[in-house]
Amino acid sequence: MDKKNQVPIIDRPFIAWSIAGLILFSVVTFSIGTLPNLSPTTKAFLYYSEIVVVGLFSIEYLCRIYISTQKLRFIFSFYGLIDLLAILPFYLGLFIDLRALRLVRLLRLLRILKLARYNLAIFRFVRAIYLAKEELIIFTIASFVLLFLAAVGIYHFEHEAQPEVFRSILDALWWAVATLTTVGYGDIYPITGGGRLFTFGILMIGLGMIAVPTGIIASSLSDVRRQLEEERLRKEVEINSTLSPESDTKH
């Protein structure tokens, strides 16, 4: 523990970014390991890399338990469980045939969730979504209503012309999703004049739908940045006023 700022050494920026680099490295090696016809040298490199990475993650996990004042609380916390799940599949593989437990190997991808521990931007984004949750909930409900109305509308225009394509509202709902999200797979499309005109209107609405949540989150992120900056300045003022010689003299 650093007595100057009371920040654990394991949470120092250099250690944090090193761990983040190891997380990304482990995900890359996991992806490379799925390639067919790898040479024995490459397989050996990937295997020993896995040992080194898991070893370092294990040391980090044990260190966090050691420095934690409430060890059980950390072990069963969200990040504690993520840290455990990031290394557990490797140790299980020493005793269990992973060919019969291939799904457990996918848990190694949970290591990338450990990046959340070291990224202030993720904290700001989550806080921004929380602040704008009511607007986002209303927008989500309105989006589902609009999807259903779009499906009903295109079904009305196209069912008689394409009964084998627009067989029901549910089939039309797939068209509504692809159209409102501006994906446009092209597997189902209108052929009547009314249906095409209706599709044009839905496409215009779809463009606006994409912009609305973006604007809500961007505005919320701006508010979060301002709040965090105000909190930081307020803490600095409180610390400076506490350490100021003039305040000691007055008392």
pTM: predicted TM-score of the whole model, two decimal places = 0.57
- What is residue 1's predicted lDDT score, i.e. its pLDDT? 44
Structure tokens at 192: 């009547």
Handedness of CA 30, 32, 33, 35 (dihedral sign): positive
Residue of 9, 21, 10 lying closest to 52 (CA atoms): 21
Q: Domains in the chain, please, with CATH?
A: 9-118 (1.20.120.350), 130-250 (1.10.287.70)
Residue 173 in contact with residue 151, Cβ under 8 Å? yes
- Tokens representing 66 are 């050691």
Give the Å distances, CA to CA, from 177 to 137, 163, 181, 226, 237.
18, 19, 6, 36, 52
CB atoms within 10 A of CB 117: 18
Predicted confidence at residue 24, as pLDDT, reads: 83
> How far apart are alpha carbons 97 and 88 in whole angstroms?
14
pLDDT at res. 80? 86
How far apart CA 197 and CA 249 sit, in angstroms, is 79
Distance, CA of 218 to CA of 212 (rounded, Å):
10
What's the CA gap between 63 and 61, in Å, rounded? 5
Q: How many CB atoms lie within 10 A of CB 150?
A: 23
What pLDDT does residue 3 have?
Answer: 44
Strands (E), 33-144: none
Region class of 184: left (phi > 0), else alpha (psi between -120 and 50), else beta? left
> pLDDT per position in the chain (251 positions), as tens?
444 445 567 767 788 788 888 888 888 888 898 888 899 999 999 999 989 999 999 998 999 899 888 999 989 988 888 888 888 888 887 777 655 555 555 665 666 666 666 667 777 888 888 888 888 899 999 889 999 999 999 999 999 999 998 988 888 999 999 888 878 788 888 999 999 999 999 888 888 887 888 888 888 888 888 888 888 888 888 777 776 655 455 54
Rounded Cα distance, 208 and 139, in Å: 12
